[in-house]
Chains A and B, each alone.
Chain A
Amino acid sequence: MRFAIVVVAAAFTAAQAQDKPAAAPPPSWQQGKPQAQSESTLHPFAPHLTGRASKELPVNTLKVPAGFKVEVWAEGIPEARSLALGDKGTVFVSNRLSKSVYAVVDNGGKREVKTLFTGLDAPNGIAFNKGTLYVAERGRITRYDGIENQLDKPAEGKVVVDNLDPSRAAGHFWKFLAMGPDGKLYFNIGAPGNIVMPNYTQASIMRVDPANGVLETVARGVRNSVGFDWHPKTRELWFTNHGRDWLGDDSPNDTLHRVAAKTVPNFGYPFCHQGDTLDPEYGKNRSCAEFAKPALKLGAHIAPLGMRFYTGKMFPAEYQNNAFIAMHGSWNRTTKQGYNVMRVTFDEKGQPKMQPFVTGFMTDEKADPPMWGRPVDLLVMKDGSLLFSDDYNGILYRVTYKK
């Protein structure tokens, strides 16, 4: 009997499928778009994959505070995303949609861009530690030991951890990677869509011990973080997070978070956004009181990516232990915002506050596209200058300070 029921059920499903084809799975960035916004023409902006020459761009209209200077440091690095600094001064650059990792070498003021690896799978995450470059692809992390001695012909890497993305779902499949003060590699596993129920590894920040491959969860309920760093004094992990789309121009905020020592906080996704706003669908039977709160609201859809604390010696003393955040800029908003590098200061209680640092990429908040460049990641150089990447054009900029 049981068998017969199964057959009937299967036949019914097949008949149904013929009458009415399955609903279209929306492109991942459209997932969760309400009926009321079905006519919206808002869409993400794609980078110029072949890059654009800085001479074509109004670079000299970028603004920085008095005493600071911003200039092009290197270009011709397609879709330049995450940055990592080698012991010998090599700047490693990753990308997300492409498949390569680049090494920029400073030869007496002239920068040479070498293609280090090709054919990788969305190698957005890179971290350098003690002579080794770690690369986080979509599904695995690989180590390349002694990389700075073999920039022209790197040896095969060794896999640290594999099978991080078994379902290969759409959504936030790219990873940010950083080496923690505990010698473990920290990375995100993003939510597999705009607003969906994640499985037990997704919507998290995890860490892996490169010595033995042991994985641990560091934070849960994190829709997608593509930037984190450790406070130079407290050693606590801070990270940026992207809020969901299609909940209106001003809701919810993207956020900055602090992970207090010895906790595994849950920051609420997909139930609660920005610490105080229940999701209209997933939040119905939940309360925001269940979840850890963000340290700072950054603005709706503003897309905070790289986040680094400043520990260099070049900038004025009040910049010590400040954080910088690269805002990739909004798309899911009728009036655009972001596209700046922001400075975060902390009061005596450790409460963060944000102000603009590098502005000028956005030229028309109503235009499509509204900007000519998009900051992605930041890197404090040995001399204390600050590099940041722009994936829209494939350019690295350098910010310096002189009294």
Chain B
Amino acid sequence: MHGLGAAASAVALFLFCSIAFGADAEAGKIKAQVCATCHGNDGNSTEPAIPSLAGQPAQAIATQLFQFREGNRKNPQMSPMAANLSNADMNNLAEYYGGLKAAPPKHRSAPANAAAGPELTKKFNCTQCHGPALLGQQQMPRLAGQQLEYLRVQLKGFKAGTRADMDGNMTSAAQALNDKDIEVLVDYIAGLGAQ
């Protein structure tokens, strides 16, 4: 019995190690040097049209890189960047950026939008998938504290049906938004704490 117990703990230890050394954040960090120009040295973008990656769910980052490489999502800067990344590269980049700390947002929401925002994010199903504080989970990105112009462009793209999504959920959800809703939402969300 004692022998069996030891074997079991050896297996558990092995599992722990193999999980801990899965996707390689260090390799991701090296690959990320070229990303830093736009997305910021620490993954926190200072450009209004460019998203912050720091602290995003790793699966959300890998999913978007995959969509760029496969040509489902198109962007003049990102499409060529993703074209030559392997799946392992994408997983490593995702692991690296997922482990960085999201900075507090610099954006200050207009008081009226901050007041209206919580109800709107429920009404339009944002919180349904992105979580009650819009921090993201699994393949769904964190929205809280994201760059305002980036959020605006994505929502308008989803509404127009020109921004690829995985399964039609965002395209479907965005159909209910009018321009005013979008402006209130992005102003509110961009000012939310990212932790």
Contacts and interface: CB of A to CB of B under 8 A. Distances in A.
A10 B146 CA distance: 41
Contact of B176 (A25, A52, A55, A97): A25
Contacts of B172: 25-28, 170
Nearest to A24: B176
A30 B22 contact: no
A111 interface: no
A78 B70 CA distance: 11
Contact of A56 (B23, B63, B124): B23
Interface in A222-236: none
A148 B175 CA distance: 45
Contacts of A170: 168, 172
Interface string B127-151: 0110000000111000000000000
A58 B137 contact: no
A46 B175 contact: no
A99 B137 contact: no
Contact of B138 (A24, A25, A45): A45
A244 B189 CA distance: 34
B189 to A, nearest CB: 18
B15 A58 contact: yes
Interface string A47-82: 011111101111011000000000000001010000
B167 A97 contact: yes
Interface string A16-58: 0000011111111110000000000101111011111101111
Contact of A78 (B11, B23, B66, B128): B66
B168 A27 contact: yes
Contacts, number: 96
Given A21-B176, A52-B91, A53-B22, A99 B62 contact: no
A368 interface: yes
Contact of B175 (A25, A53, A97): A25
Contacts of A22: 176
Interface in B1-39: 11, 15, 18-19, 22-23
B175 A48 contact: no
B65 A50 contact: yes
B191 to A, nearest CB: 24
A369 interface: yes
B99 to A, nearest CB: 15
A280 interface: no
Given A25-B175, A99-B72, A55 B22 contact: yes
B65 A24 contact: no
A51 B138 CA distance: 14
A78 B139 contact: no
A200 B27 CA distance: 53
Contacts of B63: 46, 48-50
B137 A368 contact: yes
Interface string A260-275: 0000000000000000
Contacts of B128: 30, 41, 43
A22 B176 CA distance: 7
A76 B87 contact: yes
Nearest to A171: B168
Contacts of A129: none
A186 B11 CA distance: 45
B109 interface: no
Given A21-B178, A43-B129, A369 B138 contact: yes
Nearest to B172: A27
Contacts of B66: 49-50, 78, 98
A27 B176 contact: no
Interface string B153-182: 000000000000011110011011010000
Interface of A: 21-30, 41, 43-46, 48-53, 55-58, 60-61, 76, 78, 97-100, 118-119, 170, 368-369, 394
Given A48-B59, A49-B62, 13 more contacts: A24-B176, A26-B125, A27-B167, A27-B172, A30-B125, A43-B129, A49-B63, A50-B62, A50-B87, A55-B18, A60-B11, A78-B87, A97-B167
17 contacts: A24-B175, A27-B168, A28-B172, A41-B128, A43-B128, A44-B167, A46-B63, A46-B166, A48-B63, A49-B166, A50-B63, A50-B90, A55-B18, A55-B22, A56-B23, A58-B19, A61-B15
Interface of B: 11, 15, 18-19, 22-23, 59, 62-63, 65-67, 70-72, 87-88, 90-91, 94, 124-125, 128-129, 137-139, 166-169, 172-173, 175-176, 178
